[in-house]
């Protein structure tokens, strides 16, 4: 039950986006790294899902400013052929497709190319924030191109909601369609907290580190009601996850046993794709190859903060909360920070670098 929160309200930043990835904690996942998009050649910064051969991602950004954030949702009607409960195509592959779009085309044109001709059909339930971060210079126009939210409900571009077309706004997306009539409590809570955080940061002249600390505090907010019994099943408890931004580890006795077996292997090391992938084409196959993964406990696995200032400088932070064997990590122990400048932001090329915290 992931959540993405975005804002254009901070005067020092064109956009701030924060995200919790909620997943089975043992699902194999790389750390963020730069990789070359196989079809477009774009330089992409993201973590990658190692369970499926597509090696998709839930969140990523290119050095030319294309970015995407994905959230999943369950299709509940097994008789609805247009919206399959289990899609034949990877949701994470939709993010990869967007990150390989034409960086010089408009967001609207790229979305049209992606959704036309049933382009998002055959994919399980998903919503995807899809945008391009470039400063617009035309007078009296929005400073950034509006951002679209694509879902498997989009038959064409007219079905796409648009956000971030104005300053001073806050947006939230979780595991339902963006325009669902019943906004989830965690989204309402997150939008309120993000607005309060920005207002306080501006009023008290917080620096970047102070602002980041507050943003992580939003992602750490745990208001999940306790299970009725210690043996409450995972599926039975799913409906409660809409109430909390942060999801602590949950699962039944079998999930706990699987987690304990993994932890008994000792400290887990994250696979470093940069040491093994072809620098020209990128990796072509994943480690697990399976379609589903429901092993171990479920909870918030990764937290990401992306901040883009008015000079096109990007800070990309990811916090891992568990190692690859499911051992908990101290907050900050596995933080990774990348900084780079968006190429074409003001007709100036940038170069990414990594800093480890």
Query: Closest Cα to residue 133, out of 197, 69, 202?
Result: 69
- pLDDT at residue 317 is higher than 60: yes
> What is the rounded average pLDDT for all residues in the chain?
85
Mean of pLDDT values over 180-184:
86
* 109: DSSP letter: H
Residue 265: the pLDDT is: 96
Owner of token pair 């992306």: 306
Residue 287: the pLDDT is: 44
Residue 163: the pLDDT is: 94
The domain spans of the chain are 3-356
- CATH number for 3-356 (one of 1.10.10.60, 3.40.50.9100, 3.60.60.10, 2.40.280.10): it is 3.60.60.10
Residue 109: the pLDDT is: 95
The reported pTM is 0.89
Highest mean pLDDT among 38-47, 76-85, 118-127, 156-165: 38-47
- pLDDT at residue 88 is higher than 70: no
Please state whether beta strands 3-7 and 59-62 pair in parallel, antiparallel, or not at all (unpaired): unpaired
Distances 331 to 18, 317, 339, 343 between C-alpha atoms, Å: 16, 13, 21, 32
Mean of pLDDT values over 280-285:
36
* 29: DSSP letter: B
């Amino acid at each position: 039950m992931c959540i993405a929160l975005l804002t254009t309200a901070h005067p020092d930043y064109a956009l701030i986006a924060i995200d919790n990835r909620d997943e089975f904690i043992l699902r194999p996942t790389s750390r963020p790294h730069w990789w070359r998009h196989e079809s477009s050649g774009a330089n992409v910064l993201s973590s990658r899902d190692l369970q499926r051969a597509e090696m998709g991602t839930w969140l990523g950004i290119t050095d030319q400013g294309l970015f995407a954030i994905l959230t999943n949702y369950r299709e509940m009607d097994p008789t609805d052929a247009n919206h399959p409960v289990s899609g034949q195509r990877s949701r994470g592959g939709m993010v990869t497709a967007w990150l390989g779009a034409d960086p010089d085309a408009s967001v609207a044109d790229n979305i049209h190319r992606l959704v036309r001709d049933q382009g998002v059909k055959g994919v399980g339930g998903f919503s995807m924030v899809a945008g391009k971060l470039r400063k617009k210079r035309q007078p009296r126009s929005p400073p950034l191109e509006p951002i679209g939210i694509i879902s498997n409900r989009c038959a064409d571009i007219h079905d796409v909601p648009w956000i971030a077309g104005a300053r001073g706004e806050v947006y939230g997306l979780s595991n339902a369609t963006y325009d669902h009539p019943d906004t989830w409590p965690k989204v309402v809570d997150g939008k309120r907290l993000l607005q309060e955080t920005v207002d306080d940061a501006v009023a008290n002249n917080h620096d970047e580190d102070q602002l980041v600390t507050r943003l992580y505090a939003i992602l750490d907010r745990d208001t999940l009601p306790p299970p009725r019994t210690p043996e409450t099943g995972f599926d039975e408890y799913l409906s409660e996850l809409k109430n909390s931004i942060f999801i602590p580890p949950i699962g039944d006795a079998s999930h706990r046993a699987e987690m304990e077996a993994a932890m008994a292997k000792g400290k887990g090391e994250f696979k470093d794709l940069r040491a093994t992938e072809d620098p020209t084409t990128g990796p072509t196959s994943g480690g697990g190859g399976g379609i589903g993964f429901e092993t171990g406990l479920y909870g918030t696995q990764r937290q990401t903060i992306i901040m883009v200032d008015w000079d096109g400088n990007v800070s990309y932070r990811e916090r891992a909360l568990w190692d690859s064997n499911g051992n908990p990590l101290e907050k900050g122990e596995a933080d990774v920070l990348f900084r780079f400048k968006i190429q074409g932001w003001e007709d100036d090329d940038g170069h990414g670098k990594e800093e480890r915290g």
